[in-house]
A and B are shown apart, each in its own frame.
Chain A
């Protein structure tokens, strides 16, 4: 119908067309925004011949997987505690989860710059608690990036799981307890399987965001830390190598798409139960 037409035209012209062309653009030689008229393979060639690029890609993949796992390990308990909480606690937890989303990633990352130094709050607390003997180098290292990114992306794991927990059937839980299952067993064999769609949603979302995240590694990783998005930014903005930037961006897009597809397959394989849990 006509109502949708402006939006469709806008999205197609503004985004659809550029994206379709992005892949092609990697083959064009572009000098400072003007097409020189040559076709060149050098953009894509670097992807396959440059060992540094492979290193960057693997590192980004590692970060994405690490952050996703950490978010799952920490985010699911938060959602579960919310599910079990009553009254004021529910509101407080929700506020803790939503409030960070309202501040920009930059602001939250800046917070970590304050906390992560050798003399920073994190080291001070860990030393005071006796968990550390001497300060650990967090700032401008992979550890720091993992910590910062996990915190930044945590709400994106918690919210889908929260929503999913709202839809599970309390009857099944009661039945399991009545059959003699312990709380531990109930948790792993009754509750978690029912929330699989929420977990799938959260994992997919966090993975994609972690893989393509720019400000956190750029600021917390320091000057030498190169994740794929940081590398792409440098290629475009500092080196002005737009053909290579376009090629790398296409690779990022394809990589993300592939990851989503694989994750969806994974979760489909894991879940004969999802059909009952879906609304």
Chain B
């Protein structure tokens, strides 16, 4: 018996080195850790940005870490010495907090030559820090077989949707935007978010998913039939063959610009800045804007592909008709809104 156990253990120890080969490779090289998108949304970043970047820098490996929003932010703030992450991707609401709290680098504009090609309104949205890497829209995704099509944001309160609705918490930018939208629909504003609560309760019972990614999964499983969703996530779900339609509700889908920054105390500042610069290059941005991901290009010289009208406004001018929130004001209330949401809707 002992011999058998010993034999198994020895066998296992032989298997270990085989598996270890992979980690040895990573251990010897330099690593750039980038906080990026979860799930399939990460694919364009891997295929067209980080893989070519690795080729240009032999011995470098780029690790794309799916963002877990608030935990990532906390980990960066709590780190002593070198930061665990080199580059972060943050939506404007979180970007504002990050700049205020001072844990992202004020990358000198000279280090980012491609910024010249970027639309100035986006650079301003990112508070002149880091780069505006893309913009996304929040609209409504629904299953046309199960529920009727919504036309406006107020349509969400249609009784036909009761019990079939999904949401995320305000910890994610998606959830936070929906809360702000709801407040405004009920006579509130970015500074006065209290009216959101009774209006949200009026929606009836809804499923609260921990993140937009898991909300998309619940959609796939048929647990929810309608949900506020990022246009990219909706496009990816449609790509999987899911019966889904995406709507940019009146008066306009909510636009959120996404920024990328170099984290202060990163161990790889030079490489990180170069990574940022590559991100806003024309080459990468045209891949990004392409089907099936439809990440809005911030580079002026990239045009939005034809056939994307379902998910994106066709031109920058059309984008102006979408809804922009005063995130600077709204963000001041984010912490209490997040806590309040938990209290109001925990079951």
Direct contact of A and B (CB under 8 A): yes
The minimal Cβ–Cβ distance linking B241 to chain A, given in whole angstroms, is: 17
Which segment of B112-120, B201-209, B275-283, B322-330 sits at the interface? B201-209
- Interface membership of B222, Cβ < 8 A: yes
A141 contacts B78, CB within 8 Å?
A: no
Which segment of A76-84, A180-188, A195-203, A220-228 sits at the interface? A220-228
B223 surroundings in chain A (CB, below 8 A): 117-119, 139
B205 contacts A137, CB within 8 Å?
A: yes
The minimal Cβ–Cβ distance linking A231 to chain B, given in whole angstroms, is: 9
A223 contacts B347, CB within 8 Å?
A: no
A137 surroundings in chain B (CB, below 8 A): 205, 207
A142 surroundings in chain B (CB, below 8 A): 347
B71 contacts A238, CB within 8 Å?
A: yes
- Cβ contacts A to B, 17 pairs, < 8 Å: A32-B80, A52-B339, A117-B218, A117-B223, A119-B222, A119-B223, A137-B207, A140-B207, A140-B208, A222-B347, A223-B209, A224-B208, A225-B346, A226-B342, A237-B74, A238-B70, A239-B74
B210 contacts A222, CB within 8 Å?
A: yes
- Interface membership of A33, Cβ < 8 A: yes
- Interface membership of B199, Cβ < 8 A: no
A140 surroundings in chain B (CB, below 8 A): 207-209, 347
B222 surroundings in chain A (CB, below 8 A): 118-119
A238 surroundings in chain B (CB, below 8 A): 70-71, 74
- Interface membership of B230, Cβ < 8 A: no
Task: Give complex CA distance A117, B209 in Å.
Answer: 12
- Interface membership of A277, Cβ < 8 A: no
Interface size class on chain A is 20 to 34
Task: Give complex CA distance A231, B187 in Å.
Answer: 32
Task: Give complex CA distance A279, B341 in Å.
Answer: 54
- Interface membership of B343, Cβ < 8 A: yes
Task: Give complex CA distance A85, B344 in Å.
Answer: 50
A52 contacts B343, CB within 8 Å?
A: yes
B345 surroundings in chain A (CB, below 8 A): 224
A239 surroundings in chain B (CB, below 8 A): 74
- Interface membership of A240, Cβ < 8 A: yes
A223 contacts B221, CB within 8 Å?
A: no
Q: A52-B343, A142-B347, A224-B346 are in contact. Are A240 and B77 (CB under 8 A)?
A: yes
A224 contacts B341, CB within 8 Å?
A: yes
B169 contacts A224, CB within 8 Å?
A: yes
Residue of B nearest to A52 (CB): B343
The minimal Cβ–Cβ distance linking B265 to chain A, given in whole angstroms, is: 13
Cβ contacts B308-347/A at 8 Å (1 or 0 each): 0000000000000000000000000000000101110111
B residues adjacent to A (C-beta < 8 A): 70-71, 74, 77-78, 80, 168-169, 171, 205, 207-211, 218, 221-223, 339, 341-343, 345-347
B77 contacts A32, CB within 8 Å?
A: yes
B205 surroundings in chain A (CB, below 8 A): 137
B218 surroundings in chain A (CB, below 8 A): 117
The minimal Cβ–Cβ distance linking A147 to chain B, given in whole angstroms, is: 14
**Candidate in A55, A117, A141, A223 with the most chain B CB atoms within 10 angstroms:** A223
Q: Which 8 A-B pairs have the closest CB atoms?
A: A223-B210, A224-B346, A223-B169, A141-B347, A238-B70, A119-B222, A224-B342, A118-B223
B347 contacts A33, CB within 8 Å?
A: no
B208 surroundings in chain A (CB, below 8 A): 140, 222-224
Residue of B nearest to A223 (CB): B210
A33 contacts B78, CB within 8 Å?
A: yes
Cβ contacts A34-46/B at 8 Å (1 or 0 each): 0000000000000
Apart from A119-B223, A137-B207, A226-B342: 4 A-B pairs, beta carbons within 8 A: A32-B78, A222-B209, A224-B342, A240-B78
A237 surroundings in chain B (CB, below 8 A): 71, 74
A226 surroundings in chain B (CB, below 8 A): 342, 346
Task: Give complex CA distance A141, B223 in Å.
Answer: 14
B71 contacts A119, CB within 8 Å?
A: no
Task: Give complex CA distance A70, B210 in Å.
Answer: 28
Complex interface residues of chain A between 192 and 245 (CB less than 8 A to chain B): 222-226, 237-240
The minimal Cβ–Cβ distance linking B177 to chain A, given in whole angstroms, is: 16
The minimal Cβ–Cβ distance linking B263 to chain A, given in whole angstroms, is: 15
Complex interface residues of chain A between 22 and 67 (CB less than 8 A to chain B): 32-33, 52, 55
The minimal Cβ–Cβ distance linking B179 to chain A, given in whole angstroms, is: 13
Task: Give complex CA distance A99, B245 in Å.
Answer: 44
B77 contacts A223, CB within 8 Å?
A: no
Residue of A nearest to B207 (CB): A140
Residue of B nearest to A239 (CB): B74
Task: Give complex CA distance A239, B211 in Å.
Answer: 18
Task: Give complex CA distance A142, B211 in Å.
Answer: 19
The minimal Cβ–Cβ distance linking B77 to chain A, given in whole angstroms, is: 6
A223 surroundings in chain B (CB, below 8 A): 168-169, 171, 208-211, 342
The minimal Cβ–Cβ distance linking A254 to chain B, given in whole angstroms, is: 24
B171 contacts A224, CB within 8 Å?
A: no
Residue of A nearest to B79 (CB): A32
